[in-house]
Structure 1
Amino acid sequence: MNLSVRFKRTLASLCLLGTLLPGAIAYASGYTVVPGDSLYSISQKFHVTVNDIRSANGVKGDLIYPGQVLNIPDGKATSSPAVPVNAQTHQNSSFYVVKPGDSLYLIAQKYNTTVEALMAVNNLQSSLIVPGQQLNVPVAAYRPVAPVTEVSRSARRPEIPFSDADLDLLARLVTAEAGGEPKAAQVGVAAVVVNRVKSSLFPNSIREVIYAPNQFTPVSNGWINRPATAQAVEAAREALYGADPTNGALYFFDTSAKSSFLHSLPVSARYGKMIYAKAI
């Protein structure tokens, strides 16, 4: 058979086969991730869904990194519309996009759930989140039905009286005790001090609670004199205005603590390496 005729027949067969096979995923382009990108922001830029990008790149979670090259499906080939933020996407969860200043603790408080639940449904190994990151929120906890008027901090009453010096001292304790821990752990340290001030078992001021004999290691080793971090100041403020991720704890310690007394107390919460406990 003439080689030219054989080639034409082969080409015709391939074309016919292409019309019979189901359409494969079409890729519009490759995209190189830049700092600040998230799967959600990229999906909005190319008018595709986050799940389409995950499928096209074999990505199971939301973790991407600058310099990574992603295959972007053709927006015309995708069969599902882009998912709107905070819209219910399936039976068990809704989407939330992390904003600057967010923490898992604050998001959990907003949606009436727990840090542990958010970490579980998003397969997170730590509490670290970044602006633009897309999180699943358990739909059972999803509660923003009507807009809520935000009450300014100045219009709210603190849990206990405090001065600027008290706030600074409390934030320095938070920095010394839990500076490298998640935000919820830092709020927890401050909340324990607030709970002690309110309890009849301890002194009735922030300064007296912190400087009570043999209570806090940073007082004895001098770390209490180190300046507070901005995050610790914010954590202290949140506790002073009512945030208490410890569920009323009066004690805290980390996983390296050897005290049999502390380990005998009923645990009320855990964040990072920090453990919070109530009085017996």
Structure 2
Amino acid sequence: MLKRLLITGLTIAGALSFSIPAHAHAQQNVHTVQKGESLYKIANKYGISTQQLQAVNDKNSAMIYPGETLELPVMLDESEKDLLARLVEAEAKGESYAGKVAVATVVLNRIESDRFPDTLYNVIYDGIQFSPVLNGTINDPAGQESKRAVQEALNYQGFDRESLFFYNPGKASSDYLSNQEVTTVIGNHVFLR
């Protein structure tokens, strides 16, 4: 009896030690083309549009070849969408809907960039990147407009100007950001890459 209890306890402890951290969301961000597949079939498989799949891969035509690797847009689960919407709500409060979409787009672009961590959670909680993380407002619930803005940013991947930064020059200044290329200005935010 004692031996069985000890073995059971060790088995449970071993299983727990190999569990995946809660925020290590593994996403598949590439697809290897198989014989007989088309952009349409691949896009349908992942729930995205053919146009978005083409845009993410800088393709001007629908030609693909078996063995070719296609990048996929960032795909978020519901809890990740909520986290991003809360960040958008806190960062872009008082900004236009377009500004909220642009803030969400910056975060998605960072996930895809080699310059930043490759998960949503790690991008958002990467040091002192976002003031809502530092001041706790990221914990406030997101409004419907911020939630819609996140969904639009997800659908917009591949069509944007690859912004990786944004800031409000009325509230902050940065020598580093002043040396980056401005991609657009929306409301009080300047977006850069």
What is the CA-CA distance between 1:233 and the residue it aligns to?
0.4
1:74-121 residue CA offsets vs partner (Å, 9 max, x unmatched): xxxxxxxxxxxxxxxxxxxxxxxxxxxxxxxxxxxxxxxxxxxxxxxx
Query: Where does residue 185 of structure 1 map in the other structure?
Result: 99
Structure 1 position 251 matched with structure 2 position 143: no
Please show how residues 1-280 of structure 1 align to structure 2 within 5 Å.
155-156=47-48, 159-243=73-157, 247-256=161-170, 257-278=172-193
Aligned residue for 1:109? none
8 Å CA contact 1:167–1:236 kept in 2: the answer is yes
**Matched position secondary structure for 1:240:** helix
Structure 1 residues 175 and 244: CA distance shift in structure 2, 3 A? farther
CA contact (8 A) 1:192 1:246 kept: no
- Structure 1: which 4+ aligned runs deviate by more than 6 Å? none
Task: Kindly state the Cα deviation for residue 214 of structure 1 after the two structures are TM-superposed.
Answer: 1.2
Q: Deviations over 1:228-262 (max 9, x none)?
A: 01000000111112257861100010122222212
Q: Deviation of residue 159 (structure 1)?
A: 1.8
The 1-side partners of 2:96 and 2:137 are apart by 19
Asked if structure 1 preserves the Cα contact closer than 8 Å seen for 2:169 and 2:189, the reply is yes
Normalised by the size of structure 1, how large is the TM-score? 0.43
Which has the larger Rg? Answer: 1
Higher relative contact order (CA 8 A, sep 6+): 2
Aligned positions, number: 127
> Is residue 73–residue 157 contact of structure 2 (8 Å, CA) maintained in 1?
no
CA shift, 1:220, in A, is: 0.5
1:204 Cα deviation (Å)? 0.7
TM-score, length-scaled by structure 2: 0.61
Q: SS of 1:268's equivalent?
A: strand
Query: Is the CA contact (8 Å cut-off) linking 2:107 and 2:123 kept in structure 1?
Result: yes
SS at match of 2:75: coil
**SS in structure 2 at match of 1:241:** helix
Distance 1:170 1:232, change over 3 A: same
Distance 1:235 1:244, change over 3 A: farther
Superposition RMSD in Å:
2.1
**Kindly, what percent of the aligned residue pairs are identical?**
37
- Bigger helix share: 2
Partner SS for 2:184 = strand
Paired AA for residue 203 in structure 1: P
Contact kept, 8 Å, 1:179 with 1:232, in 2: the verdict is: no
